[in-house]
């Protein structure tokens, strides 16, 4: 005797995808296995679970973005976060030590033929080294 077919309410299923629930979480909600969910999506929707989930979860991203944008109207931290992530903004403190890496610094610090270092006192101070 075959097991009874698990009933899947596709409206609830879609809402779980919008909430970005995992395959395991969706299977748990419907009290079945991951394989059952994957097989039912393929049979009922004609696509793999991963593709169906990608399509349905996009709606959840839209809702989250809408909430974040509304929150940014009164929350500076959220406005900064969205500026950095959506607009590519970044913090720039204007600090430039004139070298890109320690290796560059060491190459510049090599003594020339005159026996003097090519690194200035100011550069040493900026990277926290003291000649004394």
**Tens-digit pLDDT profile for residues 22-33:** 999 999 999 999
Domain ranges of the chain: 10-87, 93-132
Q: In this predicted structure, what is the pLDDT of residue 113? A: 47
Instruction: Report yes or no: 72 and 36 within 8 Å, Cβ to Cβ.
Output: no
Query: What sign for the dihedral angle of Cα 46, 51, 52, 55?
Result: negative
Q: How far apart are CA 78 and CA 61, in angstroms?
A: 16
Per-residue model confidence as pLDDT tens digits over 33-77: 999 999 999 999 999 999 999 999 999 999 999 999 999 999 999
């Amino acid at each position: 005797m075959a097991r009874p077919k698990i009933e899947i309410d596709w409206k609830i299923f879609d809402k779980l995808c919008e909430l970005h629930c995992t395959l395991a979480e969706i299977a748990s909600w419907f009290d079945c296995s991951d394989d059952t969910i994957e097989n039912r999506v393929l049979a009922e929707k004609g696509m793999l679970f991963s593709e169906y989930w990608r399509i349905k979860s996009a709606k959840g991203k839209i809702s989250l973005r809408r909430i974040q944008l509304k929150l940014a109207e009164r929350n500076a931290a959220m406005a900064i976060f969205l500026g950095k992530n959506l607009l590519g903004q970044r913090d720039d403190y204007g600090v430039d030590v004139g070298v890109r890496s320690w290796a560059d610094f060491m190459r510049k610090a090599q003594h020339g033929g005159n026996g003097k270092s090519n690194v200035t006192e100011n550069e040493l101070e900026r990277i926290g080294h003291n000649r004394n």
